[in-house]
A and B are shown apart, each in its own frame.
Chain A
Amino acid sequence: GAVVSQHPSWVICKSGTSVKIECRSLDFQATTMFWYRQFPKQSLMLMATSNEGSKATYEQGVEKDKFLINHASLTLSTLTVTSAHPEDSSFYICSAETSGRAGETQYFGPGTRLLVL
């Protein structure tokens, strides 16, 4: 149980285009989903916290107009990288919590590798 999927697994796009990444909890309902970014040889950095039906909460330094997050249902959250540039190239990983109680284990998706040319 507790499987999280992401789509696409990798994407290459031209600079200036927008890219949408989907995160789905397949066998549970996720009250909260998280989006992380990971650069090569580095740790995961939290970008934003997404709660179903409400606006996402962004971490300091993350541009909310550039990284649009929509959490339309208890099983789906999307991250759209708008007007992508080469510096946005990274590994984007989502996670989902099974419960609203703080401290529950987050289950991670397989990640999406974005390359902006």
Chain B
Amino acid sequence: GESVGLHLPTLSVQEGDNSIINCAYSNSASDYFIWYKQESGKGPQFIIDIRSNMDKRQGQRVTVLLNKTVKHLSLQIAATQPGDSAVYFCAENMPPGSSNTGKLIFGQGTTLQVKP
């Protein structure tokens, strides 16, 4: 049967350009955030994480920015490569004391297409 659901937004970029993928999270008390990359038919792969006491963290070619005021998270990929093509999910970790402590709540996801 036909599946019904949200279609993932798509970001299309030229190889070599920088990519910015955005995410809005739901719980202002969340204290830990993670970005995952998921290639077709595979499980999510950890990219980078950030705790709520930081507003920026850098990895290799990737930077995560956290704006707690507006509950916004972004992933910046420098010099995007064809191998970066995948679906990217942000996830927030529910804080201690909540009924969902320790659980990851995933965002909608964004498909990144890199054009050669």
Residues of A whose CB lies within 8 Å of any CB of B are 4, 6, 32, 34, 39-46, 49, 86-87, 93, 95, 97, 102-103, 105-111, 113
State the 10 A-B residue pairs at the shortest beta-carbon distance, nearest first: A102-B102, A108-B43, A103-B32, A43-B106, A111-B43, A108-B44, A44-B106, A110-B43, A42-B5, A102-B101
Specify which of A41, A97, A103, A109 is in contact with B43 (CB 8 Å cutoff): A109
Chain B residues, Cβ within 8 Å of A103: 31-32, 51, 93, 96, 102
Which residues of A have CB within 8 Å of B104?
34, 46, 95, 106
Q: Are B3 and A39 in contact (CB under 8 A)?
A: yes
Query: How far, in angstroms, from A46 to B42 measured CA to CA in the complex?
Result: 17
Total residue contacts A-B, CB cutoff 8 A? 68
Residues B44 and A102 in contact, CB atoms below 8 Å apart:
no
B114 an interface residue at 8 Å Cβ cutoff? Answer: no
How distant is B38 from chain A, measured CB to nearest CB, in Å? 8
Is B59 close to A, CB under 8 A? no
Contact string against A for B residues 25-44, beta-carbon threshold 8 Å, 1 for contact and 0 otherwise: 00000011010100001111
Give 24 pairs: A residue, B residue, CB < 8 Å, sorted on A: A4-B43, A6-B43, A34-B104, A41-B8, A42-B3, A42-B6, A43-B106, A43-B107, A43-B108, A43-B109, A44-B44, A45-B106, A46-B105, A93-B44, A97-B102, A102-B93, A102-B96, A102-B101, A103-B32, A105-B46, A108-B36, A108-B43, A110-B42, A111-B41
A33 to B114: give the CA distance in the assembly, Å.
34
Point out the residues of chain B lying under 8 angstroms from A97, CB to CB: 102
B102's closest neighbor in chain A, by CB? A102
Q: Bound state CA distance, A107 and B102, in angstroms? A: 13
CB distance from B94 to the nearest CB of A (A): 8
Known A86-B1, A102-B93: A93·B43 in contact at CB below 8 Å: yes
B72: Cβ under 8 A from any A Cβ: no
Closest to B5 in A: A42
CB-contact partner of B102 in A32, A41, A42, A109, under 8 A: A32
- Closest-by-CB residue of B relative to A57 is B103
Across the interface, which residues of B come within 8 angstroms of A46, CB to CB? 103-105
A41 with B7: CB separation less than 8 A: yes
The answer to whether A107 touches B46 (Cβ under 8 A) is yes
